[in-house]
């Protein structure tokens, strides 16, 4: 009996010790979890802005662009434009890589999904879209990407969108960016542009945006820092507006998209881009803007000079224009709803001589 009482007493004395040991073990587990979470947060903070640097399109930037100076040639001496005639991929100044021929989706309407699928099948890996619903259908671009998902990895497609100026403002920009991600069925964008610098009546009617492009740029810089946008840029900015942006930005624009064709070459803006390390992306390279302005025929594709040069080099007029644009250092984003034309714009390799380029340059603002 004495032995039994002693055993019972020992068990009673051990229970508090066991509870204390259990509490210490639980406390150690919680401390371990807290330290692990803290390490993860510190790592994420240290790598802020570089969360997607291992994908195939490039290793990306190591730091943001300093405010001043942004160019070794800021004194006004223009850098020579790079000839991209034999270049399929160009490296942007922030380190990301952009295919030199993209597929434009403006004005395709209900045919957008089919046209984008044909473009991807033809080999395009650069798709240009925007939020402006009057001209673009991002939802259909997203459906095309989703349809091709099993065959073409998202990481292999350079995807661009643009913010409508109606949505200028810090919070509005972030909300609209999220909408683009949802419609395009993606978690990030390779390039995001301000579509226009101002909200004109033609673009916005009587509506007034909640902020300015400067408010929006700060929002884009935040999204860039989060790794949601790889590269930033603008569209339809004048040289003066571009310089204002360069003096304002903490993360510099690396792309400027604007209208350029052989009859209206936008030389001043191209020279500014070369001087500041900004890649010029041309839209409407084939002269469609002339038709939209009331011309009865397309003076670019119908130009006797361009047709003669194309025939001499065994290519189409469109192929000659793309080669000329590449010789200017331009990335191009031709669009079409016709399958054969889509394929030809990407696959036709037209080579021009230096003299060919000089002769086409002479068409600038001549309209002939």
Q: Are 105 and 141 in contact (CB under 8 A)?
A: yes
Residues constituting the chain? 368
Q: Are 223 and 174 in contact (CB under 8 A)?
A: yes
What angle (nearest 5°) sits at the alpha carbon of residue 242, between those of residues 236 and 246?
145
Looking up tokens 């003066």 gives 240
Helices and strands in the chain, H and E counts: 13, 10
Query: Do strands 229-235 and 189-194 pair parallel, antiparallel, or not at all (unpaired)?
Result: parallel
d(CA 283, CA 106): 10
Radius of gyration of the chain (CA): 28
Burial class (CB in 10 A: 0-12, 13-18, 19+), 89: middle
User: Looking at the DSSP assignment, which residues form a beta bridge with residue 258?
Assistant: 282
Backbone torsions φ then ψ of 46, nearest 5 degrees: -65, -30
Q: Three-class SS of residue 256?
A: strand
Q: Are 55 and 230 in contact (CB under 8 A)?
A: no
- Kindly name the residue from 124, 136, 170, 196 that is annotated as catalytic: 136
Residue 60, phi-psi category: left (phi > 0), alpha (psi -120 to 50), beta (remainder): left
d(CA 267, CA 318): 21
Looking up tokens 């223009």 gives 78
Q: Three-class SS of residue 100?
A: coil
Angle between helices 213-225 and 239-248 (to 10 degrees): 50
Give which of 240, 235, 284 is closest to 255, Cα–Cα: 235
Residue 136 annotated as catalytic: yes
d(CA 248, CA 253): 11
d(CA 314, CA 303): 16
What is the set of active-site residues? 136
């Amino acid at each position: 009996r004495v032995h039994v009482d002693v055993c019972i007493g020992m068990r009673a004395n051990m229970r508090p010790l066991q509870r204390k040991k259990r509490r210490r073990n639980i406390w150690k587990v919680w401390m371990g979890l807290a330290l692990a979470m803290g390490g993860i947060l510190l790592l994420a903070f240290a790598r802020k802005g570089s969360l997607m640097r291992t994908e195939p399109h490039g290793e990306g930037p190591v730091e943001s662009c300093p405010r001043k100076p942004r160019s070794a040639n800021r004194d006004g001496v223009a850098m020579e434009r790079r000839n991209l005639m034999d270049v399929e991929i160009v490296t942007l100044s922030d380190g990301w890589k952009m295919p030199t021929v993209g597929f434009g989706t403006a004005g395709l309407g209900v045919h957008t999904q089919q046209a984008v699928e044909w473009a991807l099948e033809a080999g395009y890996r650069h798709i240009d879209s925007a939020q402006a619903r009057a001209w673009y259908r991002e939802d259909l671009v997203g459906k095309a990407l989703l349809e091709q998902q099993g065959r073409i990895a998202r990481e292999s497609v350079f995807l661009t969108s643009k913010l409508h100026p109606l949505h200028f403002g810090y919070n509005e920009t972030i909300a609209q960016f999220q909408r683009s991600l949802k419609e395009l069925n993606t978690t990030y964008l390779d390039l995001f542009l301000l579509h226009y610098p101002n909200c004109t009546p033609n673009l916005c009617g009587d509506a007034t945006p909640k902020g300015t492009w400067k408010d929006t740029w700060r929002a884009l810089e935040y999204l860039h820092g989060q790794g949601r946008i790889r590269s930033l840029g603008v569209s339809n900015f004048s040289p003066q507006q571009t310089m204002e942006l360069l003096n304002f930005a903490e993360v510099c624009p690396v792309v400027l998209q604007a209208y350029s064709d052989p009859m209206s070459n936008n030389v001043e803006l191209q020279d500014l881009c070369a001087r500041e390390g900004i890649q010029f992306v041309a839209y409407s390279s084939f002269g469609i803007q002339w038709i939209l302005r009331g011309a009865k025929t397309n003076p670019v594709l119908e130009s006797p000079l361009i047709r003669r040069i194309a025939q001499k080099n065994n290519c189409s007029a469109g192929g000659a224009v793309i080669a000329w644009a590449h010789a200017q250092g331009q990335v191009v984003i031709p669009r079409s709803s016709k399958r054969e034309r889509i394929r030809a714009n990407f696959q036709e390799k037209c080579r021009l001589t230096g003299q060919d380029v000089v002769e086409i340059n002479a068409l600038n603002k001549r309209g002939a």
